[in-house]
Structure 1
Amino acid sequence: MRRPVILDTNVVSEAMSPSPNPNVVDWLISTPVDRLHLTTITVGELLFGVALLPEGQRKRTYCETIARTMEYYQNRTFAFDAAAVIAYADIRAKRQRMGRPVSTQDAQIAAIARANGCAVATRNIKDFEDADVPLINPWDPPASSRTTSPTGRAGSSRR
């Protein structure tokens, strides 16, 4: 089995948008569903985003979409557990020492990925560099999809 892939919040949000990027849609369709995972951090970010919306149809639609997404991924959602906590401290400290601080949420997602041997699919590659996890940018065209090794070196990858 190939490495599991954690979807960053921006990938999930893009898939929920009324007119998602075609490269992201193609990538999601072409990636075996059992490889795709969420984190509790992403779920929290999605719920926070919808909580900020004013009451109305748009908010109700997003709430329903998030509920369906949570149900769909219920057995494929990684939690921020003890192993991830250790990786989180290492990632935040390393990035801080490099003068490249990272947000708490991105460090938590990267830590969950590292602790579980997963890649991260994100548009924000720079936010996850130096976390020692493979990265995938679903916005890249399929023929030139960019992935980075755990060392941060770019390379080509077929999905």
Structure 2
Amino acid sequence: MSLPTQRDAAGQLRALGWSKYFADQATSAALSKTPPVRITQVHRNTLHIQGVDLDMIIPGLHGVTVGDWLLFDADAPRNSQLLSRKSLIKRRAPGHDRKEQLIAANLDTAFVVTSCNNDFSLARLERYVAMAHEAGVTPVIILSKIDLTTEASDFAAQAQ
């Protein structure tokens, strides 16, 4: 198996969302020792990360979420460096302590999907759109099941 060329590596990172914003946070020396990886899934005790020819599960890290970029230390994953975020969607967690719950980071666009039926909630739609705006993310409202209703224009007017 051959090593990826610089062009292949750059293409793989761009496909994951790597941009100048993140590249400017890392020196060439740091990148050679700790390659950038993106968190693609967060589970209770583990993270799924992807990078150049890298797709693996690592132990969980505190304060990270889906979409975050790390400079990954393969020898000591807990020492991986979290890069500054472009955006962060978060909320207060349910329960008594009401801690902050991270939902996703480094997004440009959020698709807010709601169905045109009895589950439609303008208040919920407004909360999600507000959450996206607060994070600096462009919300796009998608109305689903529009073919199953005769009042499609009513739902569209409310969503607008």
TM-score, normalisation: structure 2:
0.25
The structure, 1 or 2, with the larger RCO (C-alpha pairs under 8 Å, 6+ apart) is 1
TM-score, normalisation: structure 1:
0.25
Higher normalized strand content (fraction of residues): 2
Higher normalized helix content (fraction of residues): 1
Larger-Rg structure: 2
